[in-house]
Amino acid sequence: MLFHISLYIGLGLVMVTAMALMILKIGKLLGDCPASGRAAKAAAVTIATGYGMIGFGGVALVGSTIPLMDMGVIGVLPALGFAALCLGLGFGHAVATLRAVVREALTPPHAAPTTPDPLASAA
């Protein structure tokens, strides 16, 4: 049983690490923009750190159910699949948050000039 749990934890940590590195890579690519570069890089580090901590906790929590299933190596597969599903959903949310931070860092476009109201200027 210890081998099965170790296999699950190892594969789960590899998945979390790969996705956290991908968040950092996306932040680095978004950081090339001169207008939002610093915000993108800072947000990428913060989001990847939070994702890593939550992901590691989720992997450990799902891993704690492996002994309860008592199915041997077959019990590792559903746990690993569920962890991958949860990590993928969290990754999508993390990237959406990164995009929102970059969008907020950009300056708003200038408003089109409006024509003055003739009734307001007559008063």
Cα 118 to chain centroid, rounded: 52
Percent over 90 (pLDDT), the chain: 47
How does pLDDT run across 35-62, given as a tens digit for each residue?
888 888 899 999 999 999 999 999 999 9
pLDDT above 60: residue 111: no
Domain boundary assignment for the chain: 2-107
pLDDT, residue 106, reads 79
Burial label, 109 (beta-carbon count in 10 A; 0-12, 13-18, 19+): exposed
Q: Model's pTM, two decimal places? A: 0.78
The 3-state DSSP class for residue 37 equals: helix
Cα distances from 75 to residues 14, 16, 30, 56, 67, in angstroms, run: 19, 20, 40, 19, 8
pLDDT, residue 35, reads 80
pLDDT above 80: residue 32: yes
Q: Where are the alpha helices (DSSP H) in 31-115?
A: 37-63, 66-69, 76-105
